[in-house]
């Protein structure tokens, strides 16, 4: 075999999305991918359906209407917004643009898995920095930066831990980075965050020329299946992204549905309220079952299982047999945990009861 991928490619463990079915193939309630509990706005669905009239045409390549709508909503310069085929695409492109052979890409121990893949795919060395109590630690991140560091990825809030740094902590992190390092603030779950000291990253992007904020339509807007994300960038970063991205990377239905979704603020407010109510109830109920579950700023919670008969593996099998699919997170370095997405009211009641049943014999 003469064809050889460049170094790093075969070190990648392919990303595997959350399962949607029980092991026997039976339909199940999918609570494994942090998708929206309420789904997309009916207005977005109508725009998607309407888009079928335009399927023979290429999309407008820069997603101009979508960038304009995002700019208007978030008070940002649309020329500095780049849309992507999910924010995953943008995260990977940023690594490809700014890191190459032997450069270092820094992220934290239990961070979103795409960062490692993006680093390896660009030939760079992934550097996973230890966390403190399942939380990114600014001092540890800064002490892992070397002259070879090109990017720092920070998921804020982080998936799968749900932990979140304050704006002040993020600013401390930025202040300690050399200007030659790009800080990528992945704010996929920003809309769910309730703490008042949170900063998604747009203000930092405006203030500094080495910060990018990425966002997604896959979570609060319920459009994960369409694949739409966006980045707000310094002008030079937007220019570089626009050179390397696919010329038509966001499809016609995706652009149209996303624009419509942005307009339905009531649906967004309902989704946030649902998440808050049910996250609190689920946390209370799971704690009452005797398990540790961490506070979370996202639309998911991390549940810790004990060693032994009631471990995470047994829980996964039991819950799947009851029709609930959670996400095992051993590949995030958390073999004793499972991540649970906040679902519909029925799903939440059902999974809470199933977890209580699973734990009952142990208590
Ligand atoms: C922290 C984080 N960033 C980015 C993404 C990817 O989102 P997208 O669907 O926009 O590619 C996810 C998806 O789960 C995520 O958890």
CATH 3.30.300.130 correct for 42-263: no
Tell me which residue has its CA closest to atom 2 in ligand 1: 188
Burial group, residue 269, by CB count within 10 angstroms (0-12, 13-18, 19+): exposed
Index of the ligand 1 atom closest to the CA of residue 216: 10
Structure tokens at 187: 């704010």
**Which of 87, 200, 214, 332 should be mutated for ligand 1, with most atoms under 8 A from CB?**
87
User: Token pair 């335009």 is at which residue?
Assistant: 54
The CA 80 to ligand 1 mean position distance, Å, reads 20
**Does the domain formed by 18-39+266-362 have CATH 3.90.1150.10?**
yes
How many C-beta atoms lie closer than 10 Å to residue 205's C-beta? 23
- Report CA(83)–ligand 1 centroid distance (Å): 14
User: Which pair of structure tokens corresponds to residue 327?
Assistant: 């996400």
Ligand 1: list residues with CB < 6 Å: 34, 86-88, 112, 155, 159, 186, 188, 216, 218, 224, 229
pLDDT at 197 over 80: yes
Tens-digit pLDDT profile for residues 101-155: 999 999 999 999 999 999 999 999 999 999 999 999 999 999 999 999 999 999 9
Which residues touch 188 (CB under 8 Å, ≥6 apart)?
87, 112, 155, 159, 214, 215, 216, 218, 219, 229
CA of 112 to the centre of ligand 1 (A): 8
In ligand 1, which atom is closest to the CA atom of 89? 11
Nearest-Å Rg of the Cα atoms of the chain is 20
Q: Is pLDDT above 60 for 363?
A: no
With a pLDDT cut of 90, the percent of the chain lying above it is 91
pLDDT at 206 over 90: yes
Ordered by start, the domain boundaries in the chain are: 18-39+266-362, 42-263
Q: Residue 237's pLDDT is what?
A: 98
Same fold, 18-39+266-362 and 42-263: no
């Amino acid at each position: 075999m003469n064809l050889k991928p460049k170094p790093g490619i075969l070190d990648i463990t392919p990303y595997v999305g959350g399962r949607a079915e029980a092991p026997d193939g039976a339909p199940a309630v999918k609570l494994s991918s942090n998708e929206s509990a309420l789904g997309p706005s009916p207005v977005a669905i109508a725009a998607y359906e309407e888009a079928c009239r335009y399927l023979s045409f290429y999309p407008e390549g820069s997603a101009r209407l979508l960038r304009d709508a995002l700019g208007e909503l978030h008070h940002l310069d649309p020329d500095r917004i780049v849309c992507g085929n999910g924010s995953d695409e943008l995260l990977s492109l940023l690594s490809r643009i700014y890191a190459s052979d032997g450069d270092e890409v820094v992220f934290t121990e239990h961070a979103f898995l795409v960062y490692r893949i993006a680093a390896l795919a660009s030939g760079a060395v992934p550097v996973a920095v230890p966390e403190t109590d399942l939380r990114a630690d600014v001092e540890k991140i800064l002490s892992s930066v070397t002259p070879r560091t090109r990017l720092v990825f920070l998921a804020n809030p982080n998936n799968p831990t749900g932990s979140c740094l304050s704006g002040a902590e993020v600013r401390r992190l930025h202040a300690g980075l050399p200007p030659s390092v790009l800080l990528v603030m992945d704010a996929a779950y920003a809309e769910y965050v309730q703490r008042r000291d949170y900063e998604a990253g747009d203000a930092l992007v405006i203030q500094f020329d080495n910060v990018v904020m990425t966002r997604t339509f896959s979570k609060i807007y319920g459009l994960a299946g369409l694949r739409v994300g966006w980045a707000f960038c310094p002008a030079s970063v937007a220019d570089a992204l626009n050179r390397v991205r696919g010329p038509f990377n966001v499809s016609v239905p995706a652009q149209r549905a996303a624009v419509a979704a942005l307009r339905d603020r009531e649906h967004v407010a309902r989704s946030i309220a649902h998440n808050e109510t049910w996250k609190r109830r689920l946390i209370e109920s799971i704690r009452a079952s005797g398990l540790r579950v961490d506070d979370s700023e996202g639309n998911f919670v991390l549940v810790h299982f004990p060693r032994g008969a009631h471990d995470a593996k047994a829980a996964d099998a039991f819950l799947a047999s009851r029709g609930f699919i959670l996400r095992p997170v051993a590949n995030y370095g958390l073999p004793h945990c499972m991540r649970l997405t906040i679902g519909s009211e029925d799903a939440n009641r059902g999974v809470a009861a199933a977890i209580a049943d699973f734990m009952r014999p142990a208590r």
